[in-house]
Chains A and B, each alone.
Chain A
Amino acid sequence: AQSVTQLGSHVSVSEGALVLLRCNYSSSVPPYLFWYVQYPNQGLQLLLKYTSAATLVKGINGFEAEFKKSETSFHLTKPSAHMSDAAEYFCAVSEGSNYKLTFGKGTLLTVNP
């Protein structure tokens, strides 16, 4: 079965600093990977997804993620944090033909002025 590990339940950065949120996965088949963002008191919305077309994936709000098969990683980055990026971020892996997603436990991003 697939699994996802998000390193760091809480990441704090200064406004303008690099954002790096880590995600490692395990999968017995080529994975499809997703990053979601959840703002307070809202549902999850898709930031970006990896579907094997390109290893560097660009998403909304200036975020991008790079798929590294050798490291089984799909880390999320943004060059310069903005206050509005403060939210919880979830990495997920597609679990094959039954259409299920397996989510990591989430990383709460705090952006300090």
Chain B
Amino acid sequence: IAGITQAPTSQILAAGRRMTLRCTQDMRHNAMYWYRQDLGLGLRLIHYSNTAGTTGKGEVPDGYSVSRANTDDFPLTLASAVPSQTSVYFCASRQAGWYNEQFFGPGTRLTVL
């Protein structure tokens, strides 16, 4: 089934550890995104990529990094996790065009202790 997969589904992580959240899409969409969702704050954009080889900062990029080596994959890395990064993380993708919607993955629930 076409769509977006994210791994892991959930993770408990000790503060200070490095963690990479994986995201893969098979729809050949140009653009990909990482959001975090926190109660009362909605979805906040962390980083995005309009096309393979390019990335950009979103609303809350500090403490996170991304890469886009190819069209399908868009990993999000926490270099040294902190408790405030406890959240649910969603990856999304979108085909080029102002009117095109974003498709979302199922999310990764991350707890940093």
Contacts of A43 in B (CB 8 A): 4, 90, 104-107
A51 and B99 in contact, given A44-B90, A100-B45, A105-B42 (Cβ under 8 angstroms) = yes
CB distance from A99 to the nearest CB of B (A): 4
Interface size class of chain B, counting residues whose CB lies under 8 Å from the partner chain = 20 to 34
Is A34's beta carbon under 8 Å from chain B? yes
Cα–Cα distance between A44 and B80 once the two chains are bound (Å): 28
Q: Give B residues with C-beta under 8 Å from A.
A: 4, 30-31, 33, 40-43, 45, 48, 50, 56, 58, 90, 92, 94, 96-107
Instruction: Report whether A100 and B101 are in contact in the complex, using a CB–CB cutoff of 8 Å.
Output: no
Establish whether residues B98 and A94, one from each chain, have CB atoms under 8 Å apart when the complex forms. Answer: yes
Max chain A CB contacts within 10 Å: which of B4, B41, B43, B94?
B43
Q: Which of the four size classes fits the interface of chain A?
A: 20 to 34
A9 within 8 A of B: yes
Compute how far the CA of A106 lies from the CA of B43 in the bound complex, rounded to whole angstroms.
9
Please, how many angstroms separate the alpha-carbon atoms of A12 and B96 in the complex? 37
